[in-house]
Structure 1
Amino acid sequence: MSKKLVMAWVLGLAGCASQPQIVEREVGQFDLKLGTAPTRSMAQGLVSPTAGSTFRGGLDLAHTSGMYVGQWAPSMGLLQGTLELNTYVGYAQQRFADTPGFELGVIRYSFPEMENWDRHQYYAGINLAGSRLGGALSSSPGRTDSTLLLELGSFRPFDLDVRLKYASHSMDSPMYHVGGSVRVFDDWSLNLSRPLLGIHLDLSYTDSNLSGPECGVYNGQNAHCEGFFMLKAERALF
């Protein structure tokens, strides 16, 4: 299995400010978040990734009652790829950080430039201390697929933030590729991050149990089907 290594350094020049990933504002009884990273717990794990996408972003508007709506664009279609919009609405409730909470909602994956590509995904899950377990049912023309998602977080060995994500996907009918078909597959990711001398370091590894021609039908949680490393370093000027 081929392995890829990507190193990205995000450095600022004099007089230029580094943009934060998330900007949060209170608007009456609403909490508004804008940024270049998805913010919803269940929806964050289900937004469709796009490999190599540079222009991405979204917003999330949540009410004090627990209702929320949002939109995330994993690909703006400016330099490469196809324009994609993930729009979601749902309800989340968790009274205290150390008590279980739950979340449910629906996501619509829209592809304005493509016909018959739009689909919906209904999701529900439970959250506890930064970890979550959930399931989703995806409905698209001619097929219904399901996903079981597990994410473990809030582990801090050696002053590292550690997150582990695992997903199992099952299709109601096989997806065919050259040499065979796929009906069930798994994917996973490991993320390690920590601040060091004013720089935020982030190392991630993603993989799945598909390889070679099987990757032609991959549509899981990772931007890449086979093993992929990424190292990022970010430093804010202000």
Structure 2
Amino acid sequence: MIRPLLLLGAASLFSPLLSAQQIQRQLGDFDFKLGTTPSRSMAQGLISPSAVGSFHGGLDLSHSSGWYVGQYAPSMGLSPDSTLRLDNYLGYKQRFDNSLGYEVGMIHYSYPNLAGNDSYALYGGLSLLGSRLGGAFNDNPDNRTGTLFANLGQLPLLEAELTVKVAHHRLGTPYTIGDGSQVDSFNDWSLELSRPWLGMDLNLIYSNSDLSGGGCDAYAGINSNCESMVTLKAQRSFF
């Protein structure tokens, strides 16, 4: 019943009668959210599921004590080249005051239509004086990944937020490239400047890894491209 419920939720959220990307209801001590975008930053932005298909959505239930649980589908698997994916998460988030807080949790990534592709990630984040720091470990047999994340908040003069992400990947099976050498691990990183402008979200991203040439055939990291790349993205929400 999980898939029909998610499909029904996503279909209703794409209705032109709605004017928001998220529906929120207060149920006693619980806060319930249903939306087309992730309602959780996943350890203050460390792990943020992104949409990989035209239809995506999820639900989130949090308690006033700080505990939360939810499910997000980055892909509903409705198009021929996409596969249904479900991210189930459980976590705890607490703030001591306006300047200090933390978050810990676990995510289960699953592909109901594929066997043997499930994986888990443990994450933790700390917010301090407007900055956010975090770390995560993803236990995937094909690619075990440790990630460090830092959002340094808004920079003076530029009026833009700076986000830095660095990851180390260890392949479960070494990859042999054309010259006979093997790749068993690699590092990648990204730096991102983001700011709102004329109703849009602008993002300037520099990404790179320590792989190059034929070694890029083994790349499966946090970036969309193996080698040095600068990307400018402009996004606008229409509902």
TM over 0.5: yes
Conserved? CA contact 2:46–2:136, under 8 Å: no
Q: 1:60 to 1:215 in 2, by over 3 A?
A: farther
Residue 64 of structure 1: CA displacement?
0.8
Greater alpha carbon shift after TM alignment, 120-129 vs 228-237: 228-237
The answer to whether 1:55 aligns with 2:37 is no
Question: Which amino acid is the alignment partner of residue 154 of structure 1?
Answer: G
RMSD: 3.0
Conserved? CA contact 1:49–1:223, under 8 Å: no
Equivalent residues in 2 for 1:1-238, closer than 5 Å: 19-38=19-38, 39-42=40-43, 44-47=45-48, 49=50, 53-79=53-79, 80-99=81-100, 101-141=101-141, 145-158=144-157, 160-171=159-170, 173=172, 175-179=174-178, 180-196=182-198, 199-209=199-209, 210-226=211-227, 227=229, 229-234=231-236
Cα deviation per residue 1:1-21 (whole Å; 9 max; x = unaligned)?
xxxxxxxxxxxxxxx678544
Residue 91 of structure 1: CA displacement?
0.9
Which secondary structure state, in structure 2, belongs to the residue aligned with residue 95 of structure 1? strand
Point out which structure has higher relative CO (alpha carbons under 8 A, 6+ apart).
1
Residue 47 of structure 1: CA displacement?
4.4
Question: Which amino acid is the alignment partner of residue 47 of structure 2?
Answer: L
Question: Which amino acid is the alignment partner of residue 54 of structure 1?
Answer: S
Q: What runs of 5+ residues in structure 1 fail to find an aligned partner?
A: 1-15
Residue 235 of structure 1: CA displacement?
6.4
Moved over 6 A (4+): none
Residue 183 of structure 1: CA displacement?
0.6
Residue 158 of structure 1: CA displacement?
4.2
Greater alpha carbon shift after TM alignment, 186-195 vs 79-88: 186-195
Cα deviation per residue 1:169-190 (whole Å; 9 max; x = unaligned)?
2327554153431413122141
Which secondary structure state, in structure 2, belongs to the residue aligned with residue 116 of structure 1? coil
Which secondary structure state, in structure 2, belongs to the residue aligned with residue 42 of structure 1? helix
Q: How many residues align?
A: 217
Under a length normalisation based on structure 1, what TM-score does the superposition of the two structures give? 0.75
Report the identity percentage: 33
Residue 41 of structure 1: CA displacement?
4.0
Question: Which amino acid is the alignment partner of residue 195 of structure 2?
Answer: S
Cα deviation per residue 1:123-163 (whole Å; 9 max; x = unaligned)?
2232224433222222234x672413222142153473313
Question: Which amino acid is the alignment partner of residue 153 of structure 2?
Answer: S
Under a length normalisation based on structure 2, what TM-score does the superposition of the two structures give? 0.74
Question: Which amino acid is the alignment partner of residue 188 of structure 2?
Answer: D
